[in-house]
Amino acid sequence: MIEVKRLKIFYGSADRRVEAVDEIEFSVDQGASLGLLGPSGCGKTTLLFAIAGLITPNEGSLLIDGEKVVGIRRDVALILQNAGLLPWKTVWGNANLSLKLSGRYPAENAAAVLEELGLAEFRDSFPSELSEGMKRRVGIARALAITPSVMLMDEPLASLDAITQERIQNLFLELWQERRFTMVFVTHDIEEAAFLGEKIIVLSERPARIKAIVENPQMGPLNYRETSEFHRIVTHLRMVMEQ
């Protein structure tokens, strides 16, 4: 489904070059989930934005469904850090934003998605009137409203309290299992990676290089966090990150 080959991305000009992504290579099967785990500033957002078609890589190739990624694809949704809501738009307006951008407004299923995420009665509220957890759910609703086959997420749960974070992780797990989209998420949170990633790629400090690829085949149950396998994976990821 997604194929990344020898990707290199840098910012700036030749004399002041900032390398962000260096020789990254991986692939993700259709319907699989991949976590990209790395420290702050290592190049995670840069890599994800390239997959989303928002940044053009300097070297290497990037394919989705066998097609070269050039610009934003209609079947790819992106959930931004801190939800990325427009403060002057209501919940309804924000949930329909990607559809407006891709010229399909209003969405048949935007209402159903808001209902499913418990946001229906807040349809006409503005982001400032919502809790942090609800704002993140509006960001998720926006992404789901286009019925994506690929879901890209950039630290969607950073700076949430621990309980809300776990609840929304559970929601991501259920949505992924129900809808079978291909999920690629970026995080610096080891436990989030272990809970949501069937496969986890550990990235180095900037420029992002692959340090390890960790298989996590037993993820999937909602109570996975309570299992010894989860703790084994968390300990292993922590060790690799600290190396």
**Does 42 sit near ligand ADP (CB under 6 A)?**
yes
CB of residue 48 to ligand ADP, shortest distance in Å: 8
- Contact range with ligand ADP by CB under 6 A, out of 42-50, 99-107, 124-132, 133-141: 42-50
CB of residue 207 to ligand ADP, shortest distance in Å: 8
CB of residue 71 to ligand ADP, shortest distance in Å: 18
**Does 46 sit near ligand ADP (CB under 6 A)?**
yes
- If the CB atoms of residues 81 and 125 are measured against Mg ion, the closer one turns out to be 81
Q: Which residues of 203-220 are buried (b: 16+ CB within 10 A; e: fewer)?
A: bbebbbbbbbebebeebe
What does each C-alpha distance from 86 to 80, 95, 137, 144, 152 come to in angstroms? 12, 10, 14, 17, 19
**Does 169 sit near Mg ion (CB under 5 A)?**
no
- Contact range with ligand ADP by CB under 6 A, out of 10-18, 23-31, 103-111, 218-226: 10-18
The only residue of 33, 45, 182, 187 in contact with Mg ion, by rule CB under 5 A: 45
Task: Residue 53: name its binding partner from Mg ion, ligand ADP, none (Cβ under 5 to 8 Å by kind).
Answer: none
In contact, 136 and 167? CB cutoff 8 Å:
no
Q: What CA–CA distance (Å, rounded) separates 189 from 65? A: 29
Q: What CA–CA distance (Å, rounded) separates 77 from 72? A: 9
Q: What CA–CA distance (Å, rounded) separates 113 from 123? A: 11
The only residue of 25, 27, 29, 40 in contact with ligand ADP, by rule CB under 6 A: 40
User: Which residues of the shown chain bind ligand ADP in the complex (CB under 6 A)?
Assistant: 11-12, 18, 20, 38, 40-46, 206
